[in-house]
Amino acid sequence: MENKIEVRQFNFYYGDFQALIDLNVPIRANQITALIGPSGCGKSTFLRSLNRMNDTISIARAEGEVLLDGKNIYDADVDVVDLRHRVGMVFQRPNPFPQSIYNNVAFGPRVLGTAKGSSLDDVVVESLKGAALWEEVQDKLYEPAQALNPGQQQRLCIARAIAVQPEVILMDEPCSALDPVATLRVEDLMRQLSKNYTIVIVTHNMQQAARASDWTGFFWLGRLVEFGKTGDLFTNPQEELTESYITGRQG
């Protein structure tokens, strides 16, 4: 199976503090990879390393390779803006811009200049449908995004991300601010999206990882303890640490 992203010997530092240690992670194309682990173990840091969102933190420093289609995204000749266009991101707290629903989705195509006028309208509609939000908002496209409920806002953020047709979508605990019904909707959506996109999701909810992902990686104190097919990792963990973590949480 093909690896969309291949992380090799990756180390990450906030100043003197090493947040990620010797990581080697394969991310399979068109599959859902879940990252689990206790809070503070570096899941968000890792995710943000995959589209270089950590560049905005001045004290941060990365070592090693993150190969996207075989090309290291930390190479000097990589255009970060172009990289983030290919590797989109959905955040823990829904963060729609304080603008209309339409303008939120149209934001990406507009700044990238990929669609205008009626073709922009089409992209907006398609993205909202893709994010399973169209039915709910088709009558209020020009109303403020802030008027939506949190679950709808998060799906709007997903629509905003897919409007630029990225290859990879990173999701950092996208359901932690949502109720169970909205959570299931987003999980369904992820399953659909994985046909066309490679998805990496961070979650502290192990049921969610077990339910919604194809591959699971277990992080502990900045290290990747275990990585494998989701079914195997949850039913038959190879490491004691993994076992105590997943049973401890479930029991």
Partner 1 sequence: MTTSKAENGRNLKEAIIEGLIWFSGISAILIIALIFIFLLKEGAPAFVNVPISSLLGRRWYPIEDLFGLLPLLIGSLLVTVGAVVIAVPLGLITAVYLGEFAPTWQRELLKPLIEVLAGIPSIVLGFLGWVVLAPLVQNMGASTGLTAFTGALILAYMSLPTIISITEDALYAVPNEYRDGALAIGATQWQTIWRVVLPAARSGIVIAVMLGIGRAIGETMAVMMVTGNAANIPSWRTGLFFQPVRTMTATIAAEMGEVAQGSVHYSVLFGIGIVLFLITFAINSLATRFVSGGDGRATRRRAQL
Q: Interface with ligand ADP by CB under 6 A: which residues?
A: 14, 17, 19, 37, 39-45, 57
- Pick one of partner 1, Mg ion, ligand ADP, none as the site partner of residue 14 (Cβ within 5 to 8 A by kind): ligand ADP
- Residue 9: exposure state from Cβ atoms within 10 A (0-12, 13-18, ≥19): exposed
Distance CA 183, CA 39 (A): 20
- DSSP track, 103-140: HHHHHHHHHHT---HHHHHHHHHHHHHHTT-HHHHTT-
Q: Which is nearer to Mg ion, 44 or 103 (CB)?
A: 44
Bridge partners (DSSP) listed for residue 8: 65
Instruction: Please choose, from the candidates 218, 210, 211, the residue with its C-alpha nearest in 3D space to the C-alpha of residue 243.
Output: 218
To Mg ion, the closest distance from the beta carbon of 38 in angstroms equals: 11
Least Å distance, CB 21 to partner 1, is: 25
The yes or no reply on residue 44 touching Mg ion (CB under 5 A) is: yes
How many beta carbons lie within 10 A of that of residue 100, not counting itself? 18
Minimum CB distance to ligand ADP smaller for 37 or for 166:
37
Comparing CB distances to partner 1, the nearer of 142 and 250 is 142
Strands 3-14 and 32-36: unpaired
Phi, psi of 70 (to 5 degrees): 85, -5
Q: Quick one: the chain helix, strand, coil %, rounded to 5?
A: 40, 25, 30
19 binds, among ligand ADP, partner 1, Mg ion, none (CB under 5 to 8 A by kind): ligand ADP
41 binding partner (options ligand ADP, partner 1, Mg ion, none; Cβ < 5 to 8 Å by kind):
ligand ADP
Where do we find the tokens 């629903």? 101
Using the minimum distance from each CB to partner 1, give the nearer residue, 1 or 81: 81
Q: Which is nearer to partner 1, 80 or 250 (CB)?
A: 80
Shortest distance (Å) from residue 40 CB to Mg ion: 8
Query: 231 touches which of partner 1, Mg ion, ligand ADP, none (CB within 5 to 8 A by kind)?
Result: none
Residues interacting with partner 1, by CB under 8 A? Answer: 51, 53, 56, 81-86, 88-89, 91, 93, 95-100, 102-103, 107-108, 110-112, 142-144, 157, 160-161, 164
C-beta of 44 vs 213, nearer to Mg ion: 44
- Give CA angle at 127 (48, 206), nearest 5°: 45
